[in-house]
Structure 1
Amino acid sequence: MHQNYYIYIMTNRWHTVFYVGVTNSLVGRAWQHKNKIAKSFTKKYNINQLVYYEHFDNIEVAIMREKQLKKYSRLKKVIMINKFNPEWKDLFTES
């Protein structure tokens, strides 16, 4: 059975804080972050804009990539986001 997995980066409206996560439901997870469903880092820092994501067919590969991105410097994340989403649009509202 084919599965979809995503790593994603979310930020606040000032782009001062990033959150890197992995999920099998990008739309559902972005909605949870936006609506502050759980007490979490994203709720505390008002992280509610989806600005980057990558798709994977394999959860192990997705988790490895998530761990890699979490080690990236802020500058490296900004460069990735700029290439993928130059206007830093909230991709959740674009879906």
Structure 2
Amino acid sequence: MDPGDKHREGAKLLRHGAIMARYDSIATYILANRKNGTLYTGVTSDLFQRIEQHKLGKGSRFAAKYGCNRLVWYAQFHEMAPALQRESTIKGWPRRWKINLREEFNPHWDDLSSQLSEYGW
């Protein structure tokens, strides 16, 4: 699957300024350490809490080792199974596809985690 397929697994892609309910926060996400830097793909049942863990260096050994704590892409799901499938799919992609996906969603590599707190996550 290439990034142009736009989430046929049924993901609801949240664009800049969109709101996700705090308790409906199953998500697949991509973190980066800097623009064009190391990428980390993960899945969680509570995106806000998981990003806080990553920012404290507690999210994962890989993310902590490489300083991946900037949320640069995420997609919301209503169930964990499709979120896990999406994570697996993205992890299997070449780096360029991951960057293309992120560029469609967040062209400036902004840290989107501030949006989560703005909306009461």
Q: Same fold (TM over 0.5)?
A: yes
Q: 1:38 to 1:64 in 2, by over 3 A?
A: closer
Give runs of aligned pairs for residues 62-81 of structure 1, distance below 5 A: 62-81=83-102
Matched, 1:47 2:47: no
How many angstroms does 1:3 deviate by? 4.4
Q: Which SS does the other structure have where 1:31 is aligned? A: helix
Deviant stretches of 4+, over 6 Å: none
Structure 2 unaligned segments of length 5 or more: list them: 1-22, 117-121
Superposition TM-score, scaled by structure 2 size: 0.72
How many angstroms does 1:38 deviate by? 5.2
| Residue pair 1:8, 1:54 contacting (<8 A) in 2 also | yes
How many corresponding residue pairs? 94
2:37 pairs, out of 16, 19, 32, with 16
Partner of 2:78: 57
Q: Percent identity?
A: 35
Which deviates further from its counterpart, 2-11 or 44-53? 2-11
Superposition TM-score, scaled by structure 1 size: 0.90
Matched, 1:35 2:56: yes
Q: Which SS does the other structure have where 1:15 is aligned? A: coil
| Residue pair 1:10, 1:52 contacting (<8 A) in 2 also | yes
